[in-house]
Structure 1
Amino acid sequence: MPKTDDLVLFAQVAECGSFSKVAEINSLTNSVVSKRIKKLEEGLGVQLLYRTTRKLTLTDAGRTLYQGAKNVKQAADEAFDAVAGLGESITGQIKISVPTISGELLLAEAVAAFCGQYPGLNIDMSLDNRFVDLIDEGFDLVIRTGYLEDSSLIARHIIDSQWVVCAAPSYIARHGRPQHPIELKQHNCLQYAYQTTGASDWEFKGEHKNQVIKVAGNFSTDNPIALRQGALSGHGIAYVPRCLVYDDLMQGVLVDLFPDQVGKKLGIYAVYPFTRQPPKKVRLLIEHIRNKYLAIQHCF
C-alpha cells in the first residue's frame, strides 16, 4: 500500500513536471525524489512516468493515479494550511483579476466588504476577461471561468455557471420563437466574442453527445453587459451565462428559449500560483468569495 506522503509527492511531480522543482519545494535532493517515485512504481508494479532528459510525462497508469493522488494532496495541503497560517497577520496587498460579469454582478461588493473586515489590507482588483498571466503580471489570485490547462497553477472549484439562450418578447413578436436550436440559423444571433469555444458556435445537448450549432448575426462584442443590453432592446438572440440575465428572466423582460437543451456549463475557479502554502489572506479571500457565490447559487 503506497504511503500517503509518496502520493502527495507524486501529485507534485505530475503538476510540476520536474523532480528538481519538487525537490526544492520539499527541501529534498533530486535523487531522493526520484528514488521515492521509483519505489512507488515498484510497489504498484506499473510505470507512472516517462523520463527524458528534457521533461517528465505521465503514462496512462500515471494519469489514473494522479486523479486520486491530487485529492490526497489537496486534503493534506488544507490540513497544513489550517495550522501553519494561524499566526499570520491579515495585512498588506492582494492583486486579483476577475471577469467583468463576476466583478460587476458580485465581486466588487464582496471584495470591498472583505477589505472592510481587515482594515490593514489593500486589494487591487482588475476586471478583465482575458486570461492574465499570474506569474508575469504579479497576480496573487484570479477568478476564472472555463477550463484550466496550466499545471503550474492551483485551481479551487467554486461553482458551475449554466448558460442560456434568451431573447426579448419584442424580438419574438417580430421574428417568431425558434422551436429547435437548428432554427437559430434563421435568426439574428448576438455573439459574445470572448468565448473559448468560439462566438458563433452554440452548444446544445444531443441524444448521444452535445451538438454545436453555428449561428450568425450582425452584432458581436467582448462586453457581456453590452450583449445583454442588445438582447433587452430586442435586437436579437443572445447566448450568455444565466447569472447575467437571471433577474431579467424572472421579470419576463427576457425569455429563456431552450431551458432544457443548452449544453454549455462552465466551472468558476479561484486560481493561484503553485505553492505549498498560499498566504492566509489569500485563503481567507477565496473562502469569502466562495461563500458569496454559494449564497446566490440559484442564479447560476
Structure 2
Amino acid sequence: MYSTNDIQLFVLTADLGSLSKAARQLDLVPATASASLKRLELHLNTRLFVRSTRSLRLTPEGTLFLDYSRQALTLLTQGEALLRSDGVAKGHLRLSMPSDVGRNVLLPWLNAFQKAYPQVTLGLQFSDRIIDLFSAPVDVAFRYGKLEDSSLISQPLAASRRVVVASPAYLAQHGTPITPKDLADHNCLLFYLERGLFNNWRFHSGKNPIVIKVRGDRMTDDAAIAREWAISGLGIAYKSWLDVRQDLADGRLVTLMDQYVGEETPLNMVYPDRSSASPVVRALLLFLREKFYALGVPSERNA
C-alpha cells in the first residue's frame, strides 16, 4: 500500500519533471524516492512516467492520476487546517451573485455570517452575468436554474419558480391578465440573461408547456431594476419567487395567473471542483441552508 508521502513525491516529480529534483526537495535519497514511485506504480498496476536517460514525462494514466492526487493532497491539507483551527472557519472568500437575490436576500445573511465567523473576510460581486469560475477571480458563485456545466460542483440552496408579478397600482390602471396570452396586451418588463433578452416567458398548465413572447418599453441588464420598475407600477415582471418574496408579503407586488406554473429557478451555490470546498465554504453552505430552511424554503435536494 502506498502512503501520502508517495503521492506527494509523485506530484512534485510531475511538477519538476525530475525524480532526483523532487527527492532533493523532499530531503530523500534517490534510492528511497525511486522505491516510493515504484511502490505507487505497483499498487496501481500501471506506469505513471515514461523514463529515459534525459527525460521524464507522464503517461496518459499518470496525467489522469495526477489530477486526483492534487485534489487528495488539497483535501488533506484543508482537513488538517480545519483541525488545527478547532473547526473555526477563516480566510478570504470571493463571491459572485445575481443582483436581486444578492442584495435583498443574501446580503443580510452574509453580514450575519461574518458576525458569526469574525475571521472571515468577503469580497462581493453583484451581477446577472454568468462568470467563468475557472478564469474569474471568484471562489463561489450563486446561480439560478439548472446547472449546464457538469464539470462544476453545484450545491442546492433553495427551490424556487418564476412568478408573474405587478403592483396593485398597475393592475388598477391597466387591468389584470388572466392567461399568458393576455400578456400581449400589457407592458412587460424585460432584462437580459446570458443568452440575450429574456422575452420568452415559459409556463406549464398541467403537462402542457406554454411559451409566450412578450414585449415592453423597458429593458435592462440588471434584473433588480426590472423588479423596481414593477414596484413603481410601470409594468409586469416575470421574476424568481425568491427575488420578490418580501415584496409579495408586504403587498408591494401581487402574483398573477397562479394557475399557470412558472419555470423552475432553483438557487445553487457553485464552485469549480470539490477541492474548492474549503472549511469556510462548507460553513457558508451550512449557514445559508439553515437560513433558507428557517424561511420555509426547501433546498432543491429536499424539495
Give the TM-score, by structure 1 length.
0.68
Q: Which runs of 4+ in 1 moved over 6 A?
A: 80-85
Contact 2:143 2:269 in 1 (8 A): yes
Q: Which residue of 1 aligns with 2:7?
A: none
SS class of match (2:143): strand
Instruction: State the 1:207 CA deviation.
Output: 4.0
Q: Which residue of 1 aligns with 2:270?
A: 271
Q: Which residue of 1 aligns with 2:137?
A: 138
Q: Which residue of 2 aligns with 1:170?
A: 169
Amino acid at match of 2:104: L
Q: Which residue of 2 aligns with 1:26?
A: 68
Amino acid at match of 2:265: L
- Identify which of 80, 84, 87 aligns with 2:83: 87
Looking at structure 2, the residues matched to 146 and 165 of structure 1 have their Cα atoms a distance apart, in angstroms, of: 17
Relative to 1, partners in 2 of residues 1:197 and 1:160: Cα closer, same or farther, differing over 3 Å?
A: farther
Q: Deviations over 1:116-147 (max 9, x none)?
A: 22332211121121111222123221111123
Contact 1:88 1:280 in 2 (8 A): no
Amino acid at match of 1:210: P
Q: Which residue of 1 aligns with 2:98?
A: 99
Looking at structure 1, the residues matched to 247 and 113 of structure 2 have their Cα atoms a distance apart, in angstroms, of: 28
Q: Which residue of 2 aligns with 1:152?
A: 151
Looking at structure 2, the residues matched to 185 and 279 of structure 1 have their Cα atoms a distance apart, in angstroms, of: 49
Instruction: Within 5 Å, give how 1:279-294 maps onto structure 2.
Output: 279-294=278-293
Q: How large is the Cα RMSD of the aligned pairs?
A: 2.9
Q: Deviations over 1:67-117 (max 9, x none)?
A: xxxxxxxxxxxxx99976641533321111111122211222222222222
Amino acid at match of 1:221: T
Q: Which residue of 1 aligns with 2:224?
A: 225
Q: Which residue of 1 aligns with 2:186?
A: 187
Looking at structure 1, the residues matched to 207 and 130 of structure 2 have their Cα atoms a distance apart, in angstroms, of: 32
SS class of match (1:124): strand
Contact 1:192 1:240 in 2 (8 A): no
Contact 2:159 2:297 in 1 (8 A): no
Q: Deviations over 1:260-299 (max 9, x none)?
A: 3132111111111113472111111121122222222459
Contact 2:105 2:243 in 1 (8 A): no
Which structure is larger by alpha-carbon Rg, 1 or 2? 2
Q: Which residue of 1 aligns with 2:124?
A: 125
**Residue ranges of structure 1 left out of the alignment (5+ in a row):** 1-17, 29-79
Q: Deviations over 1:234-278 (max 9, x none)?
A: 221111112222233233332211113132111111111113472
Instruction: State the 1:26 CA deviation.
Output: 3.4
Looking at structure 2, the residues matched to 298 and 276 of structure 1 have their Cα atoms a distance apart, in angstroms, of: 28
Relative to 1, partners in 2 of residues 1:19 and 1:183: Cα closer, same or farther, differing over 3 Å?
A: farther
SS class of match (1:182): helix
Looking at structure 2, the residues matched to 297 and 121 of structure 1 have their Cα atoms a distance apart, in angstroms, of: 27
**Residue ranges of structure 2 left out of the alignment (5+ in a row):** 1-59, 71-75
SS class of match (1:161): coil
Looking at structure 2, the residues matched to 253 and 245 of structure 1 have their Cα atoms a distance apart, in angstroms, of: 9
Q: Which residue of 1 aligns with 2:22?
A: none
Looking at structure 2, the residues matched to 19 and 144 of structure 1 have their Cα atoms a distance apart, in angstroms, of: 35
Relative to 1, partners in 2 of residues 1:92 and 1:23: Cα closer, same or farther, differing over 3 Å?
A: same
Instruction: Within 5 Å, give how 1:188-227 maps onto structure 2.
Output: 188-194=187-193, 198-227=197-226
Q: Deviations over 1:21-80 (max 9, x none)?
A: 64123349xxxxxxxxxxxxxxxxxxxxxxxxxxxxxxxxxxxxxxxxxxxxxxxxxxx9
